[in-house]
Structure formats: structure tokens, C-alpha cells
Amino acid sequence: MAEFLVVRLVTLVVIAVISLISGLVWGELTGLALMLGLLVSWLGFHLYHLGQLLRWLERPAPRRVPDGFGPWNTVFMALYRQARRQKQSKRRLAIVLDRFINASEAMPDGVVVLDEYDRIEWINPMAVDHLGLDRRKDVGSQILNLVREPEFHDYMAEQRYSQPLILRSTGNGPELVLSIQLVPFDIKRKLLLTRDITQLERVQTVHRDFVANVSHELRTPLTVVGGFLETLSDMPAVDDATLRQFLPMMLEQSRRMQSLVEDLLTLSRIENSPHGVAPDTVDMGAMLDTLLVEAEGLSQGRHRIELQRDSAHNLLGNQQELHSAFGNLVSNAVRYTPEGGSITLRWRELDDGRAAFSVADTGIGIPPEHLPRLTERFYRVDRGRSRSNGGTGLGLAIVKHVLMRHHGKLEVRSEPEKGSEFSVVFSPEQVA
């Protein structure tokens, strides 16, 4: 711009000098006419370029910068460079914005951008799922008109930026637990972040239930043993009849605690061991013979026990873990089948190359509403009957974790008062 002004000043000086010389040479009138012509030409030159500049400013773009002459060429070249820099800067900003939007779209958490009046400016897909919003219709709407839970309205009114709100869905669908937090990021704008913590809540609930159940399961036998010991210690003399009465019950409760601790250790070892299982070949013939002997030992002749071998295949996996899983199914069948009932152990090959070990009984059966929760730790269909039969409540949880490590699946068919069939199905890759 400074160069442009200098050029204009020089031009005026040149015109004045030419006019003065012309006036001296051709006379005053002729000099004035020549000076006027030069001024008109100079003005037309600049008005033409000024018009070019105004037309370009209506639709500025680097490729549309007009060509100029003299000082205007310097001006237009400066405008061209400036427009190029702005275009490149705009392109970089657009790339950064696209990356930010793509990252926000892919986030596992919900993000809602709110203005100073809590109106929605932008929503990512996860926030749509969490809050039930519509990306096309709800932009520009008040968030409080769309999320109507009273706890959410109180949270927005209090502006508690440091603490999240735990919001539980009250709809007819599956339960959803959200952690919602406001984060101010501008003088006027705020981010509303949502996170699905449903699974975390379930894990914490299971952990609390687990601790409570373990405490309860251990407290009962400890109370019995402690009561007997206290009674014996208060007696001045203990005769053989009293010992024969108390000691078997104390031994039974001690074995119950030992069984519970062993199951807890087994479950912990399976959960904390590496996910992969060494591909050892498990001799299913020897395994079935052992399970049959164990079933007959638990039954003590109270049941009819049958073993069906419909496959000669072996399994790939861990011998100890598979024996623990199969043994739990067998012991459950013996415990929950009344005297005189029948229990059938079966090893068979399925049509699609899979193999299955099943335990069928004619026991008390299981109501259908309890089937989805059978593999939860300490879950009992009938607590009183389970304890009287000596179960720890961890057997099917052990079965579930063993099968997860061996790519197997537990299938249960049961009908109350008619019996149950527990089948462990293995993929063809696990069949040796």
C-alpha cells in the first residue's frame, strides 16, 4: 500500500511537470487542456482497476484475482497472496475440524455441545443412543425439553461441573445406567458428556453380592463349629456320648467350609490364568470312567447311574479344568435327584463335527425363570435345599469359566419335577 501511494504521488508530479512544460512551450490554454486530458486518463485508469477490485471483492477467490497494470499489479498480487494464505488456512482448519468431528463420532462416550442457553449445537451418535435424541431435529432445541428426568434438570440447574450425575433409565427397554457430566470449555459453551456404566454397575453389584454371599456362607458353619466348641469348653467333663454327638456335626461343617474355600480357589485360579489353554489331549475314555466312579461314590446306591459312550473322540484342553467342570455337573445331578431317580452320563458326537458331554437326571428340575442366572456365583434356586445338599453355589460358575477357556457352550433343558439335562458342547476345533 505504501508503494501504491508513492507511485500515485510520482504520477501526479510527472503530470504537473508535463503540464508546466507544455504551458511554457505551447501556451497556457494548450497546456491546461493537455493537463486536463492527462488527469482524465489517469482517473480513468484508476477507476477501471477500482471497478475490477470491487467486482473481485463480491466473490473473492485466488484464481479470480484480476490482472493489473503499473501500481495496480502490485496491489492485485498482494491480494492474490493474501487470498492464497487464507484459502490454505481455511483448508487446514477444515481438516482439523473434520478430524475433531470424526474423533468425536468414534468416541465410546456421548458428546453434546451446548450454547449459553443450553441449546444443542452438535451431537455425536453415542449421545443419540444414550439420551434418545435426533441429530437432525434436535439441534437448536433446549436440552431440558428433550431429557425430562427430574434429576437431570436439578443437575443442570446446580451447574455441578466437578461431580457427575448417575442417571438410571426408567423406560420399558433394558436398564441403562449413565454417568453424565458438564464440562465448560468456552466462555459460554459447555460439553455434556455421557458414559454408559451399566456393565460397571453390574460388576460392582456382583462384587458386593459375592462378598456378602461368601461372608454368609462361611459365617453359618463357623457359627455352628464355634457354638459346639463353646459348649464343650463350658462343660466340666465331656463324656464319649457328647463327643460322638458333636464331633460329626463339627466335621461336617468344617468340610463344608473346606469345600467352599477350594471352589473359591479353583474359580480364582481359572479366572486369573491366561486365556489360552495348552492343547493337551484329554483321554475322554478315562475321564468318563472316573466320572462314573465319582457319581456312584456320591450316590451311595441311591440312584440308577448309566454311562453312554457314543463317541470315541478325545478333547483338546486342560485335563484338570475339564474334570472340574464335568464333575460339578455330575455332583449337581446326584444332589438334586431324589432317591430312586436315574442319572445318565453321555459323551456323543454331533452331526456338525461338534462333541457334547451331557448329564441328564430325573430330579427336581428348575423353573424357567431361573435358567438365565444359573451360572452366577452363589445363585441358588432354593437356598435351603441347596445348603442341605452340601452345595457351595459356585459349581456352575466354575463350569462357565472353564467353558469360556475351552470355547465351549453350556446348554440347559429343564422342567420342574421332571428333571434336567446339562450339556457341554465343544466346537470341532476342540475335538481331537
Residue 353: give its domain's CATH number. 3.30.565.10
Residue 186 sits in the same domain as residue 299: no
206 assigned to some structural domain: no
248 assigned to some structural domain: yes
57 assigned to some structural domain: yes
What CA–CA distance (Å, rounded) separates 20 from 3?
26
205 assigned to some structural domain: no
184 assigned to some structural domain: yes
Q: Which residue type sits at 314?
A: N
Query: What's the pLDDT tens digit per position in 385-417?
Result: 555 555 667 788 888 888 888 888 999 999 888
Final residue belonging to a domain, choices 234, 254, 272: 272
pLDDT exceeds 50 at position 2: no
Residue 189 sits in the same domain as residue 217: no
Q: Which domain holds residue 221?
A: 212-272
**pTM of structure:** 0.53
Query: What's the pLDDT tens digit per position in 138-193?
Result: 889 999 998 888 888 888 888 777 888 888 875 555 678 899 998 888 788 888 89
201 assigned to some structural domain: no
204 assigned to some structural domain: no
Residue 324 sits in the same domain as residue 413: yes
| Total number of domains constituting the chain | 4
Residue 286 sits in the same domain as residue 175: no
Final residue belonging to a domain, choices 76, 97, 118: 97
What CA–CA distance (Å, rounded) separates 293 from 424?
20
Residue 177 sits in the same domain as residue 143: yes
What CA–CA distance (Å, rounded) separates 394 from 292?
22
What CA–CA distance (Å, rounded) separates 223 from 232?
14
Contact between 173 and 129 (Cβ < 8 Å): no
Averaged pLDDT for residues 300-328: 90
Contact between 141 and 119 (Cβ < 8 Å): yes
Identify the pLDDT of residue 218: 74
Final residue belonging to a domain, choices 97, 129, 155: 97
Residue 159 sits in the same domain as residue 27: no
Residue 308 sits in the same domain as residue 383: yes
Residue 62 sits in the same domain as residue 7: yes
207 assigned to some structural domain: no
Identify the pLDDT of residue 360: 94
Q: Residue 424 CB: number of other CB atoms within 10 A?
A: 22
Residue 306 sits in the same domain as residue 371: yes
Residue 9 sits in the same domain as residue 67: yes
**14, 24, 26, 43, 196 from 21: Cα distances, Å:** 11, 5, 9, 21, 89
Query: What's the pLDDT tens digit per position in 23-61?
Result: 555 555 565 666 667 776 777 777 777 778 788 778 787
Q: Which helix (H) or strand (E) holds 5?
A: helix 2-26
Residue 254 sits in the same domain as residue 366: no
**DSSP one-letter string for 393-419:** S-HHHHHHHHHHHTTEEEEEEEETTTE
Contact between 311 and 355 (Cβ < 8 Å): yes
Residue 33 sits in the same domain as residue 93: yes
Query: What's the pLDDT tens digit per position in 239-285?
Result: 777 777 778 878 877 877 777 787 777 777 777 776 655 678 889 99
* Cα–Cα nearest to 168, from 160, 176, 156: 176
Query: What's the pLDDT tens digit per position in 189-215?
Result: 888 899 988 888 877 777 777 777 777
